[in-house]
Each structure stands twice: as structure tokens, then as C-alpha cells.
Amino acid sequence: MKILISEVTIRDRVTELGAQLSREYAGRPLTILGVLTGSVVLLADLIRATSVPLRVALISASSYGGTRTSPGVLSVNSSLVPDLKGRDVVILDDIFDTGHTMEGLYEAVKGFEPNSVRSAVLLWKTERTAVDLVPDYFGFKIPDEFVVGYGLDFNDEFRHLPYIGVPDQDDLTAAGG
């Protein structure tokens, strides 16, 4: 598999993002809301790169009937979400592709009456953005290539890889694709 972003490069960037969030949310009631399942690796690293009090929460979003490159109908499950009223929420996902997922999550989170909502992602496929929304925080802009690792999956596999890679056909076949 071709490595697009190495483990060390990710670590350094996540450290920077943690410092940035710590500066901008100092003294505010921050909740980092991780989107299952793709954000869990980033979530674990990012919260340890912050130095301000914060809460961690999880929300689930999945799209049904989509293909690898085009999303289907988005379903957001908020049943795990704690009270966010008056909190400053940062929605954390692995990747901002078309942006439809983040747009749907914004709508769901606003229903909890938070004080503010922003978005953070590790990766932003800038050429694919299809909504009136851009991520407030992002780790890396990437080209329109299908990537896996550091939380991102193909067929629910490859999430454990410590780097961001571009799988080749053999990798995809091995993962049942």
C-alpha cells in the first residue's frame, strides 16, 4: 500500500491541532463529539494533545445505499449523545469528503441547543466539497483518492493502520472488496 501521510507526520499535525484547540477553547465548556467509527483513532490522540478541560462524547453517522465514492441516505444516531445545552461543541470526524455527513451532523447537534458548533477533521478532500460548509479545523488537504488507515476503513478493515495509505487492488481484494 502506498503511504500518503506517515505516522510521524500525523502525530506532529495532531499535536498542533491540540494546541490550537487548547488556545481557542480555553475557559469555555468544550465537548469534543467524535463520529463513530472513523474518528476513534484521531479522537484518542487529539484529546491527549489538548491541555484544557473538556468532555468527550460520541455520535454515530452512517449512510446507507451508497457506494465507495457516493454517499447514500445519511442516518444520524444521537442516542449516545449527552446533554450539550450551552456547551461549545467540536464535531470530530475522520474525513470531510462531499461534506454531506458533516452537514447532517450539524443539523442533529443544533437540536441539542449548544452554545456553538464547529467541525474538525483529519482529512479534507477539497475537490469533492459539495455543501456550503468547510471544516473549521483540518489536519491535511488531500487529493480525490480513496484512503484508509488511522480510523478510515474500506469494508470496515484497515482502521488500525498508523498511517494514511492508498490501497491498491490487491489490498481491496484481500479486504473482501
Could you give the residue numbers annotated as active site? Answer: 97
Site for ligand IMP in 53-82 (CB under 6 A): 71
3-class secondary structure for 44-103?
Answer: HHHHHCCCCCEEEEEEEEEEECCCCCCCCEEEEECCCCCCCCCCEEEEEEEEECCCHHHH
Question: Which of 10/122 has CB closer to Mg ion?
Answer: 122
Check binding of 135 to ligand IMP (CB under 6 A). Answer: no
- Which residues partner with 4 through β-bridges? none
Which of 21, 54, 147, 164 is in the footprint of ligand IMP by CB under 6 A?
147
Q: Name the residues that contact Mg ion, by CB under 5 A.
A: 38
Q: Write the binding mask 5 to 24 for ligand IMP: x where contact by CB under 6 A, - elsewhere.
A: --------------------
**Phi and psi (nearest 5°) for 104?**
-65, -35
Element (H, E) at 40: helix 40-48
Residues within the interface to ligand IMP (CB under 6 A): 38, 71, 93-101, 146-148, 152
